[in-house]
Structure 1
Amino acid sequence: MVIINNFEEYQLYVGKELGQSNWHTIDQNQINRFADATLDHQWIHVDEERAAKAEPFKSTIAHGYLTLSLIPHLWKQIADVRNIKMEINYGIENFKFGQAVLVNNEVQLKAKLKSIVNLRGTVKVVIEAILDIKDQKKPAYTGDVIFLYHFA
Structure 2
Amino acid sequence: MSAIESAMEKLTSQIGTEVGVSNWITVDQAMINAFADVTHDQQWIHVDPERAARETPFGGAIAHGFLSLSLASRFAYDCFQPEPGQVMSINYGFNKLRFLNPVKAGSRLRGRFTVNTVDQRSPTQILRETGLTVEIEGSDRPALIADWLGMMVFEPES
Pick the TM interval, shorter chain.
Answer: over 0.9
Q: Does 1:144 align with 2:133?
A: no
Q: In structure 2, what is the Cα distance between the partners aligned to 1:49 and 1:104?
A: 14
Tell me the residue number matched to 1:18.
Answer: 19
Equivalent position to 2:129, from 96, 101, 126: 126
Indicate conservation of the 8 Å contact 2:46/2:64, yes or no: yes
Q: In structure 1, what is the Cα distance between the partners aligned to 2:154 and 2:106?
A: 38
Letter in 2 for 1:26: V
Letter in 1 for 2:48: D
Tell me the residue number matched to 2:3.
Answer: none
Q: Which has the higher helix share?
A: 2
Letter in 2 for 1:59: G
Select between 45-54 and 109-118 the one with higher mean Cα deviation. 45-54
Superposition deviation, residue 134 in structure 1? 0.6
Flag as ranges the 4+ runs of structure 1 deviating above 6 A.
Answer: none
Q: In structure 1, what is the Cα distance between the partners aligned to 2:81 and 2:57?
A: 39
Q: CA RMSD in A?
A: 1.2
TM-score, normalization: structure 2?
0.89
Taking the TM superposition and a 5 Å limit, the aligned residue runs for 1:1-152 are 6-82=7-83, 83-121=85-123, 122-152=125-155
* Unaligned runs of at least 5 residues, structure 1: none
Q: Which structure: larger Rg? A: 2
Letter in 2 for 1:148: M
Residue identity over aligned pairs, in percent, reads 33
Indicate conservation of the 8 Å contact 1:6/1:151, yes or no: no
SS of 2:109's equivalent? strand
Q: In structure 2, what is the Cα distance between the partners aligned to 1:10 and 1:31?
A: 35
Q: In structure 1, what is the Cα distance between the partners aligned to 2:36 and 2:43?
A: 8
Q: In structure 1, what is the Cα distance between the partners aligned to 2:88 and 2:26?
A: 29
Q: In structure 1, what is the Cα distance between the partners aligned to 2:20 and 2:36?
A: 30
